């Protein structure tokens, strides 16, 4: 592990806990990953505590439009879904994790249907399947046209509400997890958290448990514009980083190609135009009406996301514009309104009619392919700590997530985590919690930056560590983040400053990882190293905070065999695959 010179504190500054709670498992987050974990653990362990930062349905899951990918049709096969996932991940996927995802995905989706998720069906009652970028088969289930995440979230919350009176499961909303509690043996045994609107001045408490599952979603708010909701502030990743867990592949940030462009300076959560719209036949054009994806890739407008986003950025640079256009007009008002009701409604609210005019679009941050590193059971490098969904890095996504694989990942790995915890707790493998006081030496010194500095973090990340990076831009971002970290004025914390400091800490780790990867691969685009370099960079970048507080970096090689048969070992990424297209 090489030291980086960047110091991260062990914990955020917060008041001492004024109350305590105990559980067998604490699940943090209420998207598909958190809810599935909690529901599956219920009745298998004595007490599950589910905490969520705002209300149950406010996370990223509910915003997922396109759908959930799974092999559901006899025309499809697990091998093909595995293959498409590995190709999108550009050699950095963990092949075993991808096999697990796909092989267990179909049953997991049927279980989701059994608890009430109502996916769209055709006239014969068969589940309708569509296609998105990088997929060579129709395998995306969707609901309410373009409201898949909302339906999944509704079904899981309804299932939770049916058991809300069960003493084995407790839910606390408006609860922001601040830090992880250590057991003194390098393990995790609970969390400190702040319950907004309850308790006294600051409502800080401590919840103790032999196991904590972080399912807090992504880090989208680290950038000035993102498709992620306001709650996506990297809280779980940051807490894990401060506690010494390994984070991997952070440099691979997915920028969604088609986010409605609302003008310069438009910031925060931006409206997503699902890839499924291109799956149904919409296409990209530049300011002159030229279809620029044709000839760039065999799948043209439905190439994997990183390729489409990069092509858009290149075309914007060539034409001196800040957006391109999505042409959906030929799909017709009736079809668009029926298939994509939420997107059409939102566009019209904002003054754009997809049935009659071109939609201005530009890439914006969408998904963190990396996160807290886990094995196939969701275990992180710290005993008692698990991570799931976008917070985690299971190895499923590699350098670039395949469309609609994220809901599936949350679902499949949540089930695995619940099964692993059930077994380990029954076997007494996880010790009862006995938190130790964190020492107040120089490196443990709690830190915090003010909530009002969030825009400065977002500007620095967007300018230098965003969709296109270079050594110079990353160095400037790292320097600015360092200045912001030094601007700690010692004042007391609150939710906004805790979140902003989380963004800062994850941003520092991400920028470090991005500076070290001197190549372009998947979601990591370096203008100074525009090519993929398998000789030097076929590895994962693993970052952790060492005992002295310093971020350290290690690389974990992936075998060159990872590329064989993917069309990645030759000159063209998807040549071989394209030949199999119908």
Strand 385-387 to 211-214 pairing: parallel
Tell me which residue has its CB nearest to ligand SIN. 66
- Which residues, at least 6 apart from 571, have a Cβ–Cβ distance to it below 8 Å? none
Q: Does 228 bind ligand SIN (CB under 6 A)?
A: no
The residues in 263-292 that bind ligand SIN, with binding defined as CB under 6 A, are 274-276
The residues in 57-116 that bind ligand SIN, with binding defined as CB under 6 A, are 64-66
Q: Does 153 bind ligand SIN (CB under 6 A)?
A: no
Size of the site for ligand SIN (CB under 6 A): 10
DSSP code of residue 302:
G
Instruction: Build a one-symbol-per-residue string for 421-450: x at contacts with ligand SIN by CB under 6 A, - elsewhere.
Output: ------------------------------
How far, in Å, CA of 512 to CA of 541, rounded? 10
Residue 136 CB, nearest approach to ligand SIN (Å): 16
Residue 342 CB, nearest approach to ligand SIN (Å): 11
Strand 2-7 to 550-557 pairing: antiparallel
Q: Does 404 bind ligand SIN (CB under 6 A)?
A: yes
Tokens of 298: 């065999």
DSSP code of residue 456:
H
Judged by beta carbon, residue 226 or residue 477, the one nearer ligand SIN is 226
Task: Determine how many CB atoms are found less than 10 A away from the CB of residue 520.
Answer: 23
Judged by beta carbon, residue 67 or residue 244, the one nearer ligand SIN is 67
DSSP three-state, residue 455: helix
Residue 367 CB, nearest approach to ligand SIN (Å): 6
Judged by beta carbon, residue 218 or residue 549, the one nearer ligand SIN is 218
Tokens of 198: 């309850």
State the virtual CA torsion across 85, 89, 95, 97 in degrees, nearest 10. -80
Residue 273 CB, nearest approach to ligand SIN (Å): 8
Instruction: Build a one-symbol-per-residue string for 168-207: x at contacts with ligand SIN by CB under 6 A, - elsewhere.
Output: ----------------------------------------
Integer angstrom CA distances of residue 320 from 27, 256, 313? 47, 20, 10
Judged by beta carbon, residue 220 or residue 433, the one nearer ligand SIN is 220
Q: Does 403 bind ligand SIN (CB under 6 A)?
A: yes
Judged by beta carbon, residue 205 or residue 371, the one nearer ligand SIN is 371
Judged by beta carbon, residue 61 or residue 500, the one nearer ligand SIN is 61
Q: Does 406 bind ligand SIN (CB under 6 A)?
A: yes
Task: Determine how many CB atoms are found less than 10 A away from the CB of residue 450.
Answer: 18
The residues in 27-66 that bind ligand SIN, with binding defined as CB under 6 A, are 64-66
Residue 551 CB, nearest approach to ligand SIN (Å): 29
DSSP code of residue 453:
G
Pick from 524, 519, 401: nearest CA to 134: 401
Cβ atoms of residues 541 and 516 within 8 Å:
yes
Judged by beta carbon, residue 179 or residue 390, the one nearer ligand SIN is 390
How far, in Å, CA of 488 to CA of 217, rounded? 26
The residues in 342-401 that bind ligand SIN, with binding defined as CB under 6 A, are 367
Residue 406 CB, nearest approach to ligand SIN (Å): 5
How far, in Å, CA of 290 to CA of 283, rounded? 10
The residues in 455-484 that bind ligand SIN, with binding defined as CB under 6 A, are none
Residue 58 CB, nearest approach to ligand SIN (Å): 18
How far, in Å, CA of 299 to CA of 2, rounded? 41
State the virtual CA torsion across 428, 434, 439, 440 in degrees, nearest 10. 130
Residues 352, 355, 358, 364, CA torsion sign: positive
Judged by beta carbon, residue 275 or residue 499, the one nearer ligand SIN is 275
Piece in contact with ligand SIN (CB under 6 A), picked from 120-128, 167-175, 206-214, 402-410: 402-410
Judged by beta carbon, residue 324 or residue 481, the one nearer ligand SIN is 324
Pick from 320, 343, 273, 321: nearest CA to 301: 273
Strand 175-182 to 188-195 pairing: antiparallel
Residue 120 CB, nearest approach to ligand SIN (Å): 14
How far, in Å, CA of 79 to CA of 99, rounded? 9
Q: Which residue among the candidates 10, 11, 305, 315 is catalytic per the annotation?
A: 305
How far, in Å, CA of 163 to CA of 168, rounded? 9
Integer angstrom CA distances of residue 226 from 204, 232, 255, 299, 458? 30, 10, 8, 25, 11
Cross-strand bridge partners of residue 455: none
Active site (annotated) includes residue 47? no
Tokens of 388: 């799931």
Cβ atoms of residues 382 and 235 within 8 Å:
no
Residue 17 CB, nearest approach to ligand SIN (Å): 37
Active site residues: 305
Footprint on this chain of ligand SIN (rule: CB under 6 A): 64-66, 274-276, 367, 403-404, 406
């Amino acid at each position: 592990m090489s030291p980086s010179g960047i110091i991260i504190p062990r914990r955020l500054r917060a008041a001492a806990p004024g109350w305590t709670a105990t559980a067998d498992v604490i699940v943090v987050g209420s998207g598909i990953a958190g809810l599935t974990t909690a529901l599956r653990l219920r009745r298998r362990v004595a007490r599950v505590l589910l905490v969520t930062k705002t209300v149950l349905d406010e996370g990223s899951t509910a915003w997922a439009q396109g759908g959930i990918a799974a092999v559901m049709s006899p025309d499809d096969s697990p091998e093909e879904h595995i293959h498409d996932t590995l190709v999108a991940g550009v050699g950095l996927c963990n092949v075993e994790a991808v096999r697990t995802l796909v092989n267990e995905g179909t049953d997991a989706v049927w279980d989701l249907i059994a608890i009430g998720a109502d996916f769209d069906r055709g006239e014969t009652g068969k589940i309708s399947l569509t296609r998105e970028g990088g997929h060579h088969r129709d395998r995306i289930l969707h609901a309410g046209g373009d409201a898949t995440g909302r339906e999944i979230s509704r079904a899981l919350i309804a299932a939770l509400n049916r058991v809300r009176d069960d003493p084995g499961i407790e839910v606390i909303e408006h609860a922001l997890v601040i830090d992880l509690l250590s057991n003194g043996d390098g393990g995790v045994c609970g969390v400190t958290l702040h319950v907004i609107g309850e308790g006294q001045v600051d409502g800080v408490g401590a919840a103790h448990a032999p196991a904590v599952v972080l399912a807090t979603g992504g880090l989208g708010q680290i950038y000035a514009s993102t498709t992620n909701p306001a709650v996506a502030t990297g809280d779980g990743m940051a807490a894990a980083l401060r506690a010494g867990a390994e984070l991997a592949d952070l440099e691979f940030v997915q920028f969604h190609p088609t986010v409605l462009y609302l003008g310069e300076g438009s910031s925060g959560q931006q409206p997503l135009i699902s890839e499924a719209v291109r799956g149904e036949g919409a296409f990209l054009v530049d300011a002159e009406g030229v279809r620029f994806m044709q000839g760039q890739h065999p799948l043209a407008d439905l190439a994997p996301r990183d390729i489409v986003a990069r092509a858009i950025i290149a075309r914007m640079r060539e034409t001196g514009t800040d957006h391109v256009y999505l042409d959906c007009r030929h799909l017709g008002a009736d079809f668009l309104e029926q298939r994509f009701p939420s997107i059409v409604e939102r566009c019209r609210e904002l003054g754009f009619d997809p049935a009659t005019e071109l939609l201005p679009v530009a890439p914006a941050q969408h998904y963190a392919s990396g996160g807290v590193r886990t094995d196939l059971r969701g275990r992180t490098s710290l005993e008692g700590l698990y991570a799931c969904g976008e917070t985690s890095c299971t190895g499923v996504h590699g350098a670039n997530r395949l469309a609609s694989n994220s809901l599936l990942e949350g679902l499949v790995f949540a089930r695995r985590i619940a099964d692993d915890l059930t077994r380990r707790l029954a076997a007494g493998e996880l010790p009862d919690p006995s938190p130790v006081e964190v020492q107040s030496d120089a490196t443990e010194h709690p830190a915090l930056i003010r909530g009002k500095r969030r825009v400065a973090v977002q500007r620095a990340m967007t300018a230098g560590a965003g969709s296109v990076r270079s050594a110079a831009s990353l160095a400037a971002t790292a320097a600015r983040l360092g200045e912001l970290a030094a601007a700690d004025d010692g004042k007391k914390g609150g939710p906004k400053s805790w979140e902003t400091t989380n963004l800062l800490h994850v941003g520092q780790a991400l920028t470090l990882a991005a500076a070290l990867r001197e190549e372009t691969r998947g979601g990591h685009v370096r203008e100074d190293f525009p090519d993929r370099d398998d000789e030097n960079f076929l590895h994962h970048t693993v970052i952790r905070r060492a005992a002295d507080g310093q971020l350290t970096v290690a690389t974990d090689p992936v075998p060159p065999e990872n590329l064989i048969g993917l069309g990645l070992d030759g000159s063209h990424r998807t040549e071989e695959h394209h030949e199999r297209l119908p």
